[in-house]
Amino acid sequence: MVVVVVVLCVSPSLGAAGAPHRPWSVQHWQERGQRAAASDASILKMVAQLEELAQEHAGGEPALIARLKQSLVLPAWTSNQHRNSSSGQPSSSLGQPRAGPTFPLRPDQRFNDMILSLLPAAINAHVFELAAHALCMQLDAFPEQISTWLDAGQLLQMTGRTSQSVLLLEALVQHHHDHATQSDIRPWQRRTQLQDDAAYALHNLIISYAHLRDEEGMQRAFRDHAAFFRVPWPSPTQIPMHYAPSLTAKPFHNPRAIPDLVRLEAAFPAILDELTAYLQQHTVDTLRADHGLAANDGDWTEVLLWDSGQFTDKCAHFGHTCDVLQHMPMLTGQVEGRWLSGQATIFRLAPGAHLRAHTGSTNTRLTAHLGLIVPPGPQLIVNNTAATWEAGKVILFDDSFIHEVYHFGTEPRYVLYCSVWHPDIARAHQLLTNNGS
């Protein structure tokens, strides 16, 4: 039996309750104690659901669910230890009432961090739903915990509860806007923590509007808040968290202007041979990152070749491919001694898959896809411009623009993915090297 978890996250008004260091009343702690007790009861129900899930799934999934289960039980113990049984007010280790907590509330944030730390290993959509449900319960019990608003908003977005995500993220961005002081707003190069937090919430809000195909909402959120927080994004369709304004901004670039990519295309026959041999004996691994982009488990999977500055054990099966990558510093991570953040991996996209609208983290790198096995049907859309893959050819695009992928065909699509420096940065390095020689 499949366990279906319904996430009902509401958007309570923060108002003054969200302000730091408010002197909470006894009535507040009594009401909060009642909310926390209800949250604890809901968590116990979720533990039973997790038990049921653990019995359903084989492989590594039971261990993951056991860890999530342990995290879900923890706040019940923590909240009981810190709550006076008669008044609901937090107590010290000696059982005596203590002053109200500073903002934010650390036990709740520790719970959020534990839930979110499990997600990189999550391979089942139900785990995302349970995590979103858990955070929403925390939000209902502790609405003044601002970080929970962002965490819950992101998970609602990842699990397709986009309208609810918009409600939470709109309220959070507006809260940051309303509570910002003059000292909180600086030029972006010297930005404050509040500006960083607000930009991240605004980024997620705009992405949620993109999921709803609400261009007016995207424009409105960008217009009302980006300039106020001095975020240097040029438009609501290019919103990476790390943005360099001086770089040429366009959705697609010419891959033949980058010698490394020309050499990569030339190696296509050998790379395809290695992939064909690998698929005859192995399945493609579960994706390690960006789980929330695909609507269904197994829609987007990978064979990871290079990550965090080193090659993986998969190079034993892809010796020629990894050798080609190793001799292309633009791809594997170094230009003049500087590491390029990113990966080299083979992505499999299942028929019928849809990767939701999203952006990369920076415009200082571009994304290259070498088509390996490309049946009819898959389509890449970057900044409302569509492109299709071709076997043996590289598509080079700027993933700091909002983009998404569809597969309308009937056979899996395989591409070799890697990152390269933006050409403007590569040219600057070349000029510095030539001038110094």
Residue 32 has pLDDT above 60, yes or no: no
pLDDT number for residue 431:
45
Last residue of a domain, one of 99, 128, 158: 158
Q: What share of the chain is helix, strand, coil (3-state, %, to 5)?
A: 50, 15, 35
The tokens for 192 are 């404050």
Count the domains in the chain: 3
Least confident range of 210-219, 325-334, 376-385: 325-334
The tokens for 163 are 């309208």
CA 160 – CA 272 distance, rounded (Å): 35
Answer yes or no: do 282 and 400 share one domain. Answer: yes
CA 221 – CA 239 distance, rounded (Å): 12
**303 in a domain, yes or no?**
yes
CB 343 within 8 A of CB 417: yes
Answer yes or no: do 265 and 414 share one domain. Answer: yes
Answer yes or no: do 165 and 152 share one domain. Answer: no
**131 in a domain, yes or no?**
yes
Q: Which domain holds residue 196?
A: 161-236
Tell me: the pLDDT tens digits for 42-98? 555 555 555 555 555 444 455 555 555 554 443 333 333 333 333 333 332 222 322
Answer yes or no: do 265 and 404 share one domain. Answer: yes
CA 270 – CA 251 distance, rounded (Å): 29
Answer yes or no: do 204 and 230 share one domain. Answer: yes
Cα–Cα distances (Å) from 431 to 168, 260, 422, 423, in that order, read 47, 18, 15, 12
The tokens for 8 are 């009902």
State the chain's mean pLDDT as an integer: 74
Answer yes or no: do 201 and 228 share one domain. Answer: yes
Answer yes or no: do 114 and 210 share one domain. Answer: no
pLDDT number for residue 78:
35
**180 in a domain, yes or no?**
yes
**15 in a domain, yes or no?**
no
CB 395 within 8 A of CB 371: yes
**247 in a domain, yes or no?**
no
**β partners of residue 395:** 369
pTM of the model: 0.74
**241 in a domain, yes or no?**
no
Residue 207 has pLDDT above 50, yes or no: yes
**Who's near 80: CB < 8 A, 6+ residues apart?**
40
Residue 23 has pLDDT above 70, yes or no: no
- Could you write out the DSSP letters of every residue in 146-204? HHHHHHHHHHHHHTT-HHHHHHHHHHHHHHHHHH--GGG---GGG--HHHHHHHHHHHH
**1 in a domain, yes or no?**
yes
Measured over the CA atoms of residue 8, residue 13, residue 16 and residue 18, the dihedral's sign is positive
Answer yes or no: do 342 and 407 share one domain. Answer: yes
Residue 179 CB coordination number (10 Å): 16
Answer yes or no: do 375 and 230 share one domain. Answer: no
CB 385 within 8 A of CB 251: yes
Higher per-residue confidence, 137 vs 69? 137
CA 217 – CA 166 distance, rounded (Å): 10
Identity of the residue numbered 262 = V
pLDDT number for residue 9:
53
Last residue of a domain, one of 158, 177, 212: 158
pLDDT number for residue 46:
55
pLDDT number for residue 80:
34
Higher per-residue confidence, 429 vs 103? 429
Residue 188 has pLDDT above 50, yes or no: yes
pLDDT number for residue 425:
82
Nearest to 176 by CA among 192, 193, 198: 198
pLDDT number for residue 334:
59
Answer yes or no: do 291 and 417 share one domain. Answer: yes
Identity of the residue numbered 376 = P
Long-range contacts of 49-52 (CB under 8 A, 24+ apart): 49/3, 49/5, 49/130, 50/130, 52/1, 52/3
Answer yes or no: do 88 and 74 share one domain. Answer: yes
Least confident range of 260-269, 290-299, 390-399: 290-299
Mean pLDDT over residues 320-338, rounded?
Answer: 77
The tokens for 184 are 């909180």
CATH for 316: 2.60.120.330
**211 in a domain, yes or no?**
yes
pLDDT number for residue 396:
97
Tell me: the pLDDT tens digits for 347-388? 999 999 999 999 998 998 899 999 999 999 999 999 999 999
Bridge-based pairing of strands 285-286 and 300-307 is antiparallel
CA 239 – CA 261 distance, rounded (Å): 26
Answer yes or no: do 258 and 352 share one domain. Answer: yes
pLDDT number for residue 97:
29
With pLDDT > 70 as the criterion, what percentage of the chain qualifies? 60
Residue 30 has pLDDT above 70, yes or no: no
67, burial (CB in 10 Å: exposed 0-12, middle 13-18, buried 19+)? middle
Mean pLDDT over residues 2-21, rounded?
Answer: 36
Bridge-based pairing of strands 365-373 and 394-397 is antiparallel
Last residue of a domain, one of 174, 204, 236: 236
pLDDT number for residue 126:
58
pLDDT number for residue 337:
61
Tell me: the pLDDT tens digits for 115-130? 555 454 444 555 666 6
